[in-house]
Structure 1
Amino acid sequence: MKSQKSFQTTTGILYIVPTPIGNLEDMTFRAIKVLQEADLIAAEDTRNTRKLLTHFQISTSMISYHEHNKQVSGKNIIDHLLNNKIIALVSDAGMPGISDPGYELVEEAINNNIPVISLPGANAALTALTASGIVPQPFSFYGFLPRKKKEREKELEFLKNKPETIIFYEAPHRLKETITSIYDSFGNRKIVLARELTKKHEEYIRGDLKEIVTWLEEAEIRGEFCLIVEGCKENIADSEALWWHTLTINEHVEYYIEKGLSSKEAIKQTAHDRNIGKREVYQSYHVKE
């Protein structure tokens, strides 16, 4: 057990700073202040972030932190934090760590007893969800589905019976293929496509999956998309809902690992299915090791 006193520290502080997803007026006063006062800004793309800093007249130095250099750069950032530096982490747009680099750096900071402070701010998923007209809670955020068809179909098979609203992200050049895969797996249900959020050409396309598949045949697809998909409304028989009832805890965990989850994720999902504590599943599963 660890307790973080965010502003009572002998180390530096790692700030998670969301940036606008389109409209620069969505930048908060606090976010600007943190970026101004930080010793360094860790940016996913320094060229992109430079435009933001120039707009708000922020002169703080930057270092690069992205998917391809996160191990080396992450160690460098941790060293700065241990030397009492204030680091602000930003992605190209929105909240760092949500389908953007950041999680590993946060985890390493916590492991080194460095306070991590997240600022509230712009996020495409919640922006789209609240305006979608689809039940907003409970919801499950997924992000980008796998690019390879076989892996994508496996994930959708896993997701299709979930009752909660599901949020996906997708790039314009893969949108048609992704929507078709969701329709083939989920069947027909409500979906909302949100594009160019907060920008001049912001648009919401509301309908069902069958209508959207037809629309995509002739639509001009531009911009990054957020997909809000209605959860499963069908009544699943108890025997199907408890598909795992003949499995041992270890077999249950192994099932999810075979589907591509890490052992940590598989243990968490198994505990959720069985409505038992993660510790109980962890201890049972690791006895065999």
Structure 2
Amino acid sequence: MSVQIQKSYEPKAGVGTLYLVSTPIGNLEDMTYRAVRILKEVDCIAAEDTRQTRKLLTHFEIQTRLVSYHEHNKMASGPELIRLIGEGRSIALVSDAGMPAISDPGYDLAKLAAEADIPVVPIPGANAALSALIVSGLPTERFLFVGFLPREKKKLKDELERISHIQATLLFYESPHRVMKTLEVMAEVWEDGPIAIARELTKRHEEIVRGSISECLELFRTKEALGEFCIAVDRSNAGERADAEAESWWTELSIEEHVARYERESGDRKEAMKRAAADRGVSRRDIYNALIP
């Protein structure tokens, strides 16, 4: 693969541009001047849900042609949009709300465009995950956007266990009818820790719930879950806690059980006694004396 350099403000002759245009996640005042201008100037707008996008275009008096591009038609629609851009037309891609290509099929179109050496230009704006992060009160220097978690409980548990070692603030999208289930599995898989749950961001009923996993779980047992949710979980010390737990696995064992465990692994009792002594911060003689009947 050769290196590809895109000069966003130096248009290629005869080739259009794919604009990834952010739209409001609730409050229409979050629409940027640049986003409105681009949507008016492009040849057409590709939308995840044309009915939803049409309301936005009507509000801002945008009359640009609207076409459909979503998960179920992307295999046919994507190449056709790329062909049009290759012929010199510029297209804006929008999602239902927020930044396109985040947890929606916009990624596939951006990938196709990049592979075809077509300029892909971001038009920044509102994003639910980052909005939730900055108001969460949790660490922001390192974070991971996980997106939507699996629906089935076993797969959900497996996914949380898979990412349990990551030292960062983890960000999840969740629907109202699954918030309780997700919190229950988090409480089962992870140790209790700080969490923030944001709902209806930028809308009239915007609400941020901050507490521990167990406290928020208890709250939502009696609180009706309404609106779209973003969950932020502080896992910045996850690796340290996991290491500490791994190092102290033997604390509930007797000295005999501790040595026996290492002996089964190594097949050497003297080596097992040495390792047990190192774990407990004592001499090998102390371990030997403790094992004398």
The alignment's TM-score, normalised by the length of structure 2, stands at 0.80
The AA in structure 2 aligned to 1:143 is G
- Deviation, 1:161, is 1.8
- Deviation, 1:237, is 3.3
Q: What residue in structure 2 maps to residue 2 of structure 1?
A: 4
SS at match of 1:100: coil
1:39 matches 2:43 = yes
Q: Distance in 2 between matches of 1:19 and 1:80?
A: 23
Root-mean-square deviation (CA), in Å? 1.5
The AA in structure 2 aligned to 1:210 is S
1:114 matches 2:118 = yes
Q: What does residue range 188-267 of structure 1 map to in structure 2 within 5 Å?
A: 188-234=192-238, 235=240, 236-237=242-243
Q: Distance in 1 between matches of 2:105 and 2:22?
A: 12
Task: Give the conservation status (yes or no) of the 8 Å contact 1:161–1:232.
Answer: no
- Deviation, 1:122, is 0.5
Q: Distance in 2 between matches of 1:147 and 1:66?
A: 21
The AA in structure 2 aligned to 1:237 is D
Name structure 2 gaps, 5 residues minimum.
248-293
Q: What does residue range 136-175 of structure 1 map to in structure 2 within 5 Å?
A: 136-175=140-179
Largest Rg, 1 or 2: 2
Q: What does residue range 62-77 of structure 1 map to in structure 2 within 5 Å?
A: 62-77=66-81
Task: Give the conservation status (yes or no) of the 8 Å contact 1:139–1:166.
Answer: yes
SS at match of 2:219: helix
The alignment-based identity, stated in percent, is 50
1:79 matches 2:90 = no
Task: Give the conservation status (yes or no) of the 8 Å contact 2:101–2:107.
Answer: yes
- Deviation, 1:214, is 0.7
1:48 matches 2:57 = no
- Deviation, 1:44, is 0.2
1:125 matches 2:129 = yes
Q: Distance in 1 between matches of 2:102 and 2:38?
A: 20
SS at match of 2:121: strand
Deviating above 4 A after TM superposition, structure 1's stretches of 4 or more consecutive aligned residues are: 238-241
Q: Quickly say closer, same or farther: Cα 1:238–1:131, change in 2 above 3 A.
A: closer
Task: Give the conservation status (yes or no) of the 8 Å contact 2:139–2:236.
Answer: no
- Deviation, 1:137, is 1.7
Q: Distance in 2 between matches of 1:131 and 1:159?
A: 23
- Deviation, 1:8, is 2.5
- Deviation, 1:238, is 9.3
- Deviation, 1:239, is 11
Task: Give the conservation status (yes or no) of the 8 Å contact 1:160–1:232.
Answer: no
Q: Which moved further from structure 2: 20-29 or 67-76?
A: 67-76
The AA in structure 1 aligned to 2:225 is I
- Deviation, 1:167, is 0.2
1:55-110 deviation line (CA, Å, top 9, x unaligned): 00000011100011111010110111111001000000000011122111001001
In the alignment of these two chains, the number of paired residues is 241
1:100 matches 2:108 = no
Name structure 1 gaps, 5 residues minimum.
242-289
Q: Quickly say closer, same or farther: Cα 1:36–1:176, change in 2 above 3 A.
A: same
Q: Distance in 2 between matches of 1:162 and 1:108?
A: 31
Q: Distance in 2 between matches of 1:60 and 1:8?
A: 21
1:154-193 deviation line (CA, Å, top 9, x unaligned): 1100111211100000000111111111111112011100
1:237-259 deviation line (CA, Å, top 9, x unaligned): 39969xxxxxxxxxxxxxxxxxx
Q: Distance in 2 between matches of 1:227 and 1:105?
A: 28
Q: Distance in 2 between matches of 1:73 and 1:168?
A: 29
- Deviation, 1:207, is 0.4
SS at match of 2:111: helix
SS at match of 1:237: helix
The alignment's TM-score, normalised by the length of structure 1, stands at 0.81
